[in-house]
Structure 1
Amino acid sequence: MSHFIFMLTENDATVADALAAYDSLRDSPVHYVGFKDIGLPVAALKQLAQRIRADGRKVMLEVVATSRETERESIRAALDIGVDFLLGGRHVEDALTLLRGSDVRYFPFAGHTVGHPTVLQGTMDEIVEDARRIASLPGVHGLDLLAYRFAGEGDPAELARRVADSVNVPVIAAGSIDREARVKAMIDAKVWGFTVGSAIFQGAFVDRLLPAQVNTIFQIEGVTA
């Protein structure tokens, strides 16, 4: 079983109408709802997070900042917003310092990630080794793996399986999961969870109605809230 994380994002940015989009799904079984650190001002993200948490759901923010300082700013914003999970980011030691003493569960990127939209570079062996190193650090609760943004040689599903097998923390597969076959591949790889954002807003699974998109994903065997 893998948790479905609904991302209020398209093209690696939080959608402009994120609050309305979330409200259309308040009756859905979704338990984890996320957004990016870009696309909306912090005040709007704070309002969005408050609405999500008021419904008893968990809030995830994924950092896609491309510099060390902007990443630090995003982490400070995440603390102000009051998220439950912080995903992504490249500067793990900086993040751990900023997050010390908080209740935020931290899932940094595994491997060498670059650009925006973010892609994953390197060999499978390098990514697996980096995953082991990061997962061993105190204060790291899990890993964010851009399996289907993998620019190297090899099968993304195999990469996800190898990373999940190599660490003792949960792995979230993020990015470009836009069809049932990819959802099933991540479930088979035994990742803890997977994110879907752009594909939902683009109507990739059934049509452009968000509730129907979400319900279709939950109908896939092995998907849980």
Structure 2
Amino acid sequence: MSKSELIVMLTHNDYTVENAYDIFEACKDSKAKYWGFKDKGISIEEMKNLFAYMKQCGKTTFLEIVEYTEPECLEGARLAVDCGCDILMGTKFFPSVNEFCIKHNLKYMPFAGDITDRPSILKGNIEDIVNEAKFHSSHGVFGFDLLGYRYVGDPVELIHTFVTQLELPVCIAGSLDTYEKLDVIKAISPWAITVGSAFFDNKFEGTFSEQIDKVYDYIN
């Protein structure tokens, strides 16, 4: 069975924390190879500097955009390119955003399903969410950002159905804050998960770096 990657998100309640650079500096030698943050909370200059430093440290970098209109999503994609990050997560799927990402060799993982609010929640029928993603799969996206534990229905059924029916990488993002939820992840083995707020809320007990290694080891 394939293992899941851990993407450490330097975010709390869907906003990048002000001391993101310092936290990364303190935790850069932890086991996580994938790191990212959101489009809100720190300045663009700080974002560029942090992404550059992460890449200098050999990390794969992610920017997650929590926006829902086409202009805002396109602006988020431009921001990801300007910051030099590796993978754009989030945004609702728009052909214009997808084409921009392809043109600029930016891997694109849009949200799946009907997303609203911030922190985000996911609505919709599971079959519809899966079928929409299958349709977008044929347009060159790298994978999908699935807010499994922000789903208003049965999150386990959604995650299992989505991951087993999609052939592209799936990242389960948002509200992964208990070992019970990590057990679901271990059983289903999506490509990756994000954990952010749970580390800041000390849900896995320990220093930030200790929590990262605990979760990394647990899912692998």
With the length of structure 2 as denominator, give the TM-score of the two structures.
0.95
Equivalent position SS for 2:115: strand
Task: Work out the number of aligned pairs and report it.
Answer: 218
Question: Structure 1: which amino acid aligns with 2:59?
Answer: R
Question: Structure 1: which amino acid aligns with 2:191?
Answer: W
Q: Please tell me the root mean square deviation across aligned C-alpha atoms, in Å.
A: 1.2
Question: Shift in Å at residue 126 of structure 1?
Answer: 1.4
Alignment of 1:41-80 (within 5 A): 41-80=43-82
Distance 2:156 2:191 in 1: 14
Aligned to 2:194: 195
- Unaligned 5+ segments in structure 1 are none
Question: Structure 2: which amino acid aligns with 1:148?
Answer: Y
Question: Shift in Å at residue 190 of structure 1?
Answer: 2.2
Aligned to 1:111: 113
Question: Are 1:26 and 2:24 counterparts?
Answer: no
Distance 1:110 1:187 in 2: 21
Question: Shift in Å at residue 142 of structure 1?
Answer: 0.5
With the length of structure 1 as denominator, give the TM-score of the two structures.
0.93
Q: Which string of whole-angstrom CA distances, capped at 9 and with x for unpartnered residues, describes residues 82-138 of structure 1?
A: 01011111033121122232221111111111111111101111111112112222x
Q: Given that residues 66 and 116 in structure 1 are in contact (C-alpha distance below 8 angstroms), is that contact kept between their aligned partners in structure 2? A: no
Aligned to 1:144: 145
- Unaligned 5+ segments in structure 2 are none
Question: Shift in Å at residue 76 of structure 1?
Answer: 0.7
Q: Given that residues 6 and 193 in structure 2 are in contact (C-alpha distance below 8 angstroms), is that contact kept between their aligned partners in structure 1? A: yes
Distance 2:133 2:70 in 1: 20
Distance 1:217 1:11 in 2: 19
Aligned to 1:35: 37
Aligned to 2:130: 128
Question: Are 1:178 and 2:177 counterparts?
Answer: yes
Q: Which string of whole-angstrom CA distances, capped at 9 and with x for unpartnered residues, describes residues 64-95 of structure 1?
A: 02432222211111100001011111033121
Distance 1:202 1:94 in 2: 37
Moved more, 10-19 or 183-192: 183-192
Aligned to 1:211: 209
The percentage of counterpart residues that share the same residue type is 33
Question: Shift in Å at residue 25 of structure 1?
Answer: 0.6
